[in-house]
């Protein structure tokens, strides 16, 4: 069982919420927060791949805008990164700037996000989800077969039988997700892998998601139209089928190995 110490984050969040709910002005409540210790934290209590802090900034992509061609085109990547992702960051910084808990890790804020301004949920999710998404992709210009390592496939098989089952289940859920949102492979606090979807920019770390569908994202797919419309128009299924060629399985496996410890 993990025991972790948090200096002020959660208590400041809870107290800020009470004040906010009463319609009172926020006071500088950092001084009233005490060191708290929690038990039974799920794997969602950290994310080594998201180290960003307020004020948030656009992360560099680990490859060029044209590097994911022919599966995702340069123009889509450039707009998605410099316009869509940047807008989430701008709006997140604006929503947080007068909040006492603005320096808390986003992953902590997600735990109580249902009690906060909806702009924090939408834009905090937008920033976190895209930051992970970029790292979950890798170039494959020669269109080589793209499978997880044998070791990681053995882990996946434990939950899905075989890789094809995982692929089919994920593809079906992502294809059928109505409107805009994300499809995820998550690691739950019950130490299980699961495929879930979230609407809009929600993610499985947020308290707005049903407990059974919460967990640490290992792999995520953006199925907003802005992620594929220029190249694929309304053909979401074709975008998803092509996406399997550019999943960065090493990154996903690394996250799994960190989470299952």
Nearer to Mn ion, 103 or 175 (CB): 175
The residue range among 86-94, 152-160, 218-226, 232-240 that interacts with Mn ion, by the rule CB under 5 A, is 218-226
For Mn ion, give the closer residue by CB, 12 or 77. Answer: 77
* Of positions 45, 202, 222, 253, contacts Mn ion by CB under 5 A: 222
In whole angstroms, the minimum distance from the beta carbon of 227 to Mn ion comes to 5
Q: Which is nearer to Mn ion, 133 or 187 (CB)?
A: 133
Across the beta sheet with 181-187, the strand order is: 193-199, 181-187, 216-222
29 or 86, CB closer to Mn ion? 86
Q: How far is the CB of 222 from Mn ion (least distance, A)?
A: 4
Minimum distance between the CB of residue 155 and Mn ion, rounded to whole angstroms?
28
Q: How far is the CB of 126 from Mn ion (least distance, A)?
A: 7
Closest separation in Å from C-beta 215 to Mn ion:
21
Segment lying near Mn ion (by CB under 5 A), choices 7-15, 145-153, 179-187, 221-229: 221-229
Nearer to Mn ion, 134 or 159 (CB): 134
**Calpha distance 233→32 (Å, rounded):** 53
- Residue linked to tokens 């998605």: 80
Using an 8 Å Cβ cutoff, are 202 and 125 in contact? yes
Tell me the closest approach of the beta carbon of residue 204 to Mn ion, in angstroms: 16
Q: In the structure, how many helices (H) and strands (E) does the chain have?
A: 10, 5
14 alpha-carbon distance from chain centroid: 23
DSSP assignment of 141-171 equals TT-------HHHHHHHHHHHSSHHHHHHHHH
Looking at 24-32, 135-143, 219-227, 243-251, which segment touches Mn ion (CB under 5 A)? Answer: 219-227
89-108 as b/e: b if 16+ CB within 10 A: bebbbebbeebbbbebbbbb
Q: Can you tell me the distance from the alpha carbon of 174 to that of 182, in angstroms, rounded to the nearest whole number?
A: 7
Q: By the criterion CB under 5 A, which residues form the site for Mn ion?
A: 222, 224, 227
């Amino acid at each position: 069982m993990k025991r972790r110490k948090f200096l002020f984050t959660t208590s400041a969040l809870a107290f800020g919420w009470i004040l906010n709910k009463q319609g009172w002005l926020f006071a500088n409540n950092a001084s009233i927060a005490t060191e708290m210790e929690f038990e039974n934290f799920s794997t969602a209590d950290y994310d080594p791949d998201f180290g960003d802090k307020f004020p948030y900034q656009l992360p560099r992509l680990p490859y060029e805008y044209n590097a994911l061609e022919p599966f995702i085109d340069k123009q889509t990547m450039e707009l998605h990164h410099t316009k869509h992702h940047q807008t989430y960051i701008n709006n997140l910084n604006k929503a947080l700037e007068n909040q006492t808990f603005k320096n808390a890790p986003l992953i902590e804020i997600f735990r109580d996000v249902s009690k906060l301004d909806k702009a924090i949920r939408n834009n905090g999710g937008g920033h976190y989800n895209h930051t992970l998404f970029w790292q979950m992709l890798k170039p494959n210009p020669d269109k080589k077969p793209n499978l997880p390592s044998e070791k990681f496939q053995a882990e996946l098989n434990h939950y899905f039988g075989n890789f094809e089952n995982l692929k089919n289940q994920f593809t079906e859920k992502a294809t059928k997700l109505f409107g805009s949102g994300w499809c995820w492979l998550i690691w739950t606090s019950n130490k299980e892998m699961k495929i879930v979807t979230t609407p809009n920019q929600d993610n499985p770390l947020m308290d707005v998601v049903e407990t059974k569908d919460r967990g640490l994202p290992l792999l995520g797919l953006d199925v907003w139209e802005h992620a594929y419309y220029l190249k694929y128009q309304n053909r979401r299924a074709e975008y998803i089928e092509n996406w399997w060629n550019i999943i960065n399985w090493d990154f996903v496996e690394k996250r799994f190995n960190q989470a299952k410890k």
